[in-house]
C-alpha cells in the first residue's frame, strides 16, 4: 500500500532546473482538471517552483505531493479527497499538486511507475508514499501516522505534550535510550531496529537509529582521521571517518564540506556512497538547522 522512500531519492536534483527557470512566468492561477491551488493549503507546483515550494517548505512543515495527470481517472477520485483533507488540516500540512505531463522531470526524480502517486516530504527528503486512489479512511490514517511521527521534528509540528498533556513513555524507546546512554550501541541499534521492523515509517526510531550508528562510528574516530583523509582525497573510507570525526567534535560545516567536495570528485556508485553518507549526517540534525539547509543547497550544486 505504501512505500518508504526516505533516503532513496535526492530531491535537490531539481534545483538546477528551478534556477534556470526562475524568471519564467508564474503558473496560471486557474487550476487544470484534477488540479488544486485554490488556497494556501493546496498549491500547484512546477519544475521551476519545486525547490522553494516543496523542498524548502518541507524544512518547516509536512508537504504532501500529489502526482497526477488530466487523463488519469483514479487521480480525479483521489485529488478532491486530498484537497479537502488539506483544507481541513488547519495548516498541519500542505498539498503540492504536480501535473506529471507538464512536469515530467519531477516524476522521473521520484521514479514514478504509475499515477496517482502521493509522496510525503519532510526535512527535504521523502519519508513515505503510496500509489493508487486509496479510500479516505486509509488516507486519513496514513496522514495521522505521519504527523504523529513528525511531532517535534519540524517547526510547524509541535512536539507531543506541547498542549500540556504528557505522553506516556514507550518502553521500546526507553530500552533503546537506556542502552544508548550507557554506550551499548549494539543493543540500542537492535532496539530501534525492532521498532522499525514493526513500524517502518516511525520517524523517531529512524532518527534514533541514525544517532546510534553515528555514535558507534564516532567512538572509533580520532584526530588522525582528518590527517589521513587530507593526505588521501580519493580514499572514501578515510573521508567518511574524517567527516564523522569533524561532526562529532562540533566542526559540522567542515564535515559537510568535506563530503560535498568528495561528491564533486566522484561519479557513479562512489558518488552515491558519498551522498548517502552525507544525507545520513544530515539526519542527525534538526531539518531546520541552517547548516543542514546550506549543505543541502551545496550538495545540489555539486550533484547537478
State the catalytic residues: 72, 75
- Report DSSP letters for 221-254, one per residue: --THHHHHHHH-TT-HHHHHHHHHHHHHTT-HHH
Strand order in the sheet with 93-99: 42-44, 93-99, 62-68, 117-122, 125-131
Q: β-strands 125-131, 117-122: how paired?
A: antiparallel
| Bridge partners for 62 per DSSP | 93
Under 8 Å between Cβ of 277 and 259: yes
Q: Of 143, 145, 157, whose CA–CA distance to 85 is shortest?
A: 143
Q: For residue 116, is the peptide bond before it cis, meaning its omega torsion is within 30 degrees of 0? A: yes
What's the grid cell of residue 279?
Answer: 544525507
Are the C-beta atoms of residues 116 and 76 closer than 8 Å to each other? no
How would you classify the pairing of strands 62-68 and 93-99? parallel
The CA distance from 106 to 48, in Å, is 10
Amino acid at each position: 500500500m505504501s512505500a518508504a522512500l526516505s533516503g532513496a531519492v535526492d530531491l535537490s536534483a531539481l534545483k538546477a532546473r528551478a534556477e534556470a527557470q526562475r524568471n519564467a512566468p508564474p503558473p496560471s492561477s486557474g487550476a487544470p482538471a484534477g488540479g488544486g491551488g485554490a488556497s494556501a493549503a493546496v498549491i500547484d507546483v512546477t519544475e521551476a517552483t519545486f525547490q522553494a515550494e516543496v523542498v524548502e517548505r518541507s524544512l518547516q512543515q509536512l508537504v504532501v505531493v500529489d502526482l497526477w495527470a488530466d487523463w488519469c481517472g483514479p487521480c480525479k477520485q483521489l485529488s478532491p479527497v486530498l484537497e479537502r483533507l488539506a483544507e481541513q488540516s488547519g495548516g498541519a500540512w500542505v498539498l503540492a499538486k504536480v501535473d506529471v505531463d507538464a512536469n515530467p522531470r519531477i516524476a522521473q526524480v521520484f521514479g514514478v511507475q504509475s499515477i496517482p502517486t502521493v509522496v510525503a516530504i519532510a526535512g527535504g527528503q521523502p519519508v513515505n508514499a503510496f500509489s493508487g486512489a486509496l479510500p479516505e479512511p486509509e488516507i486519513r490514517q496514513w496522514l495521522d501516522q505521519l504527523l504523529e511521527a513528525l511531532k517535534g521534528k519540524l517547526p510547524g509540528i509541535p512536539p507531543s505534550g506541547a498542549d500540556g498533556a504528557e505522553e506516556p513513555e514507550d518502553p521500546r524507546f526507553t530500552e533503546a535510550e537506556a542502552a544508548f546512554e550507557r554506550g551499548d550501541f549494539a543493543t540500542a541499534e537492535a532496539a530501534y531496529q525492532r521498532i522499525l521492523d514493526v513500524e517502518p515509517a516511525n520517524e523517531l526510531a529512524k532518527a534514533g537509529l541514525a544517532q546510534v550508528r553515528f555514535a558507534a562510528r564516532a567512538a572509533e574516530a580520532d584526530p588522525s582521521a582528518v590527517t589521513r583523509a587530507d593526505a588521501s582525497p580519493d580514499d572514501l573510507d578515510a573521508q567518511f571517518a574524517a567527516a564523522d570525526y569533524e561532526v562529532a567534535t562540533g566542526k559540522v560545516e567542515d564535515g559537510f564540506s568535506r563530503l560535498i567536495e568528495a561528491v564533486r570528485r566522484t561519479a557513479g556508485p562512489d558518488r552515491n556512497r558519498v551522498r548517502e553518507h552525507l544525507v545520513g549526517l544530515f539526519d542527525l540534525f534538526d531539518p531546520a538547522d541552517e547548516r543542514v539547509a546550506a549543505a543541502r543547497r551545496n550538495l545540489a550544486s555539486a550533484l547537478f
